Amino acid sequence: MRTQVGIIGAGPAGLLLSHLLHLRGIDSVVLETRTREQIESTIRAGVLEQGTMDLLTEAGVGARMKAEGALHHGFELAFEGKRRRIDLTGLTGHSITVYAQHEVIKDLVAARVAADGALRFGVTDTSLHGIDTDKPSIRYRHEGEECELQCDFVIGCDGSQGVSRASIPQALRKDYERVYPFGWFGILCEGPPSSDELVYARHERGFALVSTRSANVQRMYFQCDPKDSVDNWSDDRIWAELHARVDSHDGQHVVDGKIFQKNIVGMRSFVSATMQHGRLFLAGDAAHIVPPTGAKGMNLAVADVRVLTNALNAFYVENRTDLLDSYSQTALKRIWRAEHFSYWMTSMMHRIDGASPFEQQLQVAELEYVTTSRAAATAMAENYVGVAAV
């Protein structure tokens, strides 16, 4: 089989890239190790920046996002028993939409199927060949048969544990990583929203986040030991912890509900500063990871895809290679901005083991400043909605 662009990974990056290329008349094949049911049912959070919302709409896959997503014009920062609002729209003119990642994936899969796009689910034994030549290929097994996909370019959208980044020689890679000593305990529960907008809480017991999935399903997190077990946390203990960290002095409080999912996720920052090698290009989690505090993960993947789409279109339409040659340099400007914002938000909002009382008060002082200074609040808002990104 031959195509123009071989894409490894059917996450938001791979699917959106395939769809955008299709709209420009460029053929692609998407290879995915999981089944369609698995990628559409794996529940992941989703806060969409203004630019992500706009691109999905322009690509014709934003109708359900607009109908079912929750458009937010701000969020709240809770600390010292009070809540203060960051007015995203008032400060930047833009907003965000809370719309889960697996819902974005459903919309993109539906669009690719409707366009007779080539999607291969359940592939195994994937390997890359000839990426440093002009005739790269991807070998894999699908439905018991050995297959080879010949293409002009290979785009690795297969996450941090995929084969794509590992196919770049270690000697040529420049990786940066920070592993955080804490994780997030996440729950999904039945019940009404606890707040009209997201609430980020800083408390001496640790960070907490209150979000929503729908009118009847809520998503909440609180800082925990990443080595802890969900078995150690009864529902009563979970709600007591969330109330302690989020409830405010003026009576605003978390609304309890029936918990039907619990999980613990670790947190790290990672950047592969080598996002391309020969005819291989990395996008999304294959190239970078951010802690979820800044809500940048999926948005960074979409930003990578926007740059790649323009670069590949320039190659096929105008026979230009300059945009492909500068892909890493272009994408990394935005990536490092988002990495810094996510690191800053994480450092300001989380309890840091071993932090002195002096350092703890610095966190409070920073929150006081960012919620009372229009300039500081604007900088936060711009980064959150994506306006300040390069």
Positions marked catalytic? 72, 200, 292, 296, 384
Please name the residues in contact with 7: beta carbons below 8 A apart, sequence gap of 6 or more.
14, 17, 18, 28, 29, 30, 31, 154, 155, 157
Tell me how far apart the alpha carbons of residues 230 and 264 are, in angstroms, rounded to a whole number: 7
- CA-closest candidate to residue 384, choices 370, 368, 366: 370
How far is it, in rounded angstroms, from Cα 387 to Cα 303? Answer: 12
Residues 207, 62: Cα–Cα separation, whole Å: 32
Q: Helix/strand/coil (H, E, C) string of the chain?
A: CECCEEEECCCHHHHHHHHHHHHCCCCEEEEECCCHHHHHHCCCCCEECHHHHHHHHHCCCCHHHHHHCEEECEEEEEECCEEEEEEHHHHHCCCEEECCHHHHHHHHHHHHHHCCCEEEECCEEEEEECCCCCCCEEEEEECCEEEEEECCEEEECCCCCCHHHHCCCHHHCCEEEEEEEEEEEEEEEECCCCCCCCEEEECCCCCEEEEECCCCEEEEEEEECCCCCHHHCCHHHHHHHHHHHHCCCCCCCCCCCEEEEEEEEEEEEEEECCCEECCEEECHHHCEECCHHHCCHHHHHHHHHHHHHHHHHHHHHHCCCHHHHCHHHHHHHHHHHHHHHHHHHHHHHCCCCCCCHHHHHHHHHHHHHHHHCHHHHHHHHHHHHCCCCC
- Tokens standing for 362? 């610095």
CB 353 within 8 A of CB 181: yes
